[in-house]
Structure 1
């Protein structure tokens, strides 16, 4: 009998290794003080488990310079003369050579486990990382007599789930905080439950928001805290639906306001205020600024300087871009144009269009069947504009980008995308080539420069020109 025949033992041992690994990261601190961690367990095609882990470190340990990064991660081939031992390790074991049972002493192995380390230095990558580790198991679609959407569970995953080991783990926890207008909270009840009992039940109406307001009425020690920050000093008791003073020294949960679409009007502005107002005891207090109770949450936002210059739409887009895909962001932008009063659509487009372009290169490569396609910035903008125009045209309003003062996509764009020959010819980086041209032109001698200027003038004016450049070998004909 071999180890692969005992899925239960493999699951138990791997679960112990994961716990030991997390303990090592938090206590030995190889990357610094860990303030949060998250991991997901996945099972490879042959069934063996592996772990995707995300770590957050405290500000003093964040990486800010390349030299600091090199202390943890190195992706270079070292000088064989200066450091022959590391050169041998990198070239023999990390290019990427055998590891695991074949070479347990490989540098990518930690206590018998294979380790890959990556550093995330860009906030937009967080969205990709979360989606990657939370994508779930691979699935297959089969059509026999009817379509089946199914997945295969290997013995190791079955054992893991039977033992009730964590598939997902995160620390600290995330507490979802409800957002609703006064007396507009969501109520859930059973089908056969009498409606009068539902109306008379005081517990069913309690939410984290209503109890935050009530707790501020009887406990003034949290008046300096916003709704989001309340979790740092208070704990939400789900069973009793109430807040109580936090006694534990453990890391408190992270508060997260539920997402509200900007087209929801007052509810959207209420959510904005809950991130700024402190010590509120009633819903009127939330829309009070400087002892003045304003009639709407939007007006209160204006008085706090949260609106104007499309700040609310910028805030909504920035908030959504942390987790939504590029396709979803384009849909959000289209909804803003149609249903929201965007004062300057062009300014909002100029600021946000890059976030809507993350998937454009892959889609263009798939349409044109060109591998490793490079799309220049101008073309990238046109592709995003094209996708937005489709969204606007498919909406019931039948609107168009030109209605909002935004650039229209060129009519020939779709044909160009499907023209493989054209896309291959345009598959170069215009910015880098323009910079290279400036350097090369500055290196021309006087006679070469005369020829260059003559050709360029004829080309720009669309004039015919026949020239013959003659010179001995090594005089710079090829360079020109």
Structure 2
């Protein structure tokens, strides 16, 4: 069970390509078996210092013989018992990842091996076209399996997928001819048909949504549930049959909070007749599915999240604490987020920068939630902050406006008289275009050391002092450092990194993202 050895002594070996073994031999010598980064195990291969063995081997290649030393790096994985019993080379490996299992299944389920053979008569002229023929090799056991027409595939248990959606939130397919009809009377889904079935059949009101396919089958043409006609008879219910059919309710990501809680209610409420009926708990109509789940006790409490915030509040800054709370809101499914907010409100608000406290008051948490999830606080059941200033909630815009205008005004007053004639011409040209809101491109061309950066920084200060937002963008990081608030074009405009090799390059800026709002 030795692979090779293949190296520079035998470059013509089938396993060698571009001077490297395609089977990645020799392997590394390691003390214990570990799992590699790709999911495949790296097996223990003992060195001579760790009890491994070596053997002298004569390698014959290119018409010559060479003496070489073999060790465990060249040994192929094998089971001594199998190799001895079958007297054959048998590779044995242990797989423990999904990727490895898929690799095995690929070989199990692939088609038969292909063989090439030739047919010719003695002394006949060689026909290059007819000489070789492509055929299929079928082993004896596979041939018998096919001759007796034994099944090669079997499917047990019927699986019915069940949809989850809000009221009037189902997917509707329409054309130009049936648009109005689909708007007025859309087809029922498995969920809406379940509600209608519960209003008509008493037995259906004893079932959960996920139990329905065992007793009913969904007719795709009429979009309604029908009784099964085969199966085990259900006692005390005439004409009802039970099968082993399974239901698979479509998954909903926890970030889609209300739909996620709707799915939970469908697994715990028996025989609902409408979306409103799902929200009725002990005679009380809940405003949301989240409230209904909370009243039924289907949600855990916030003890572990409360403890995490308490520990973090002792060592973390308010900015870090706000970000942690925002992550909890978006990923941890808090039971009562409003109570956590009220408990740690002072910790979240202390030590905020003075200009943010003056301009935006209690919007620090809102900014962090927007930065992490791009959602408003109302999505998570928390009150949105009352804004007395301009309703700007984009943190990128806040950063571009967080300049001391008084300091900028002093900078302009000090440096504007120092402009030379041509510098002032460029300075006035840019400011006139900004004042007139006219688009255009101004290219400032001058030798190094003549004040291009000085003019650019003065323009930035003048625009920022007036309350507008200029974007200082440079082509390189070194050039960006010479501009106040400067950034590279790849960072500010989300340019693709392989710009020169892309046929149709597109900036990676989503329509409603914070970067898009800043550019607007």
TM more than 0.5: no
More helix by share: 1
Give 1 or 2 for the bigger CA radius of gyration: 2
Length-normalised TM-score, structure 2 = 0.32
Higher RCO (C-alpha 8 Å, min separation 6): 1
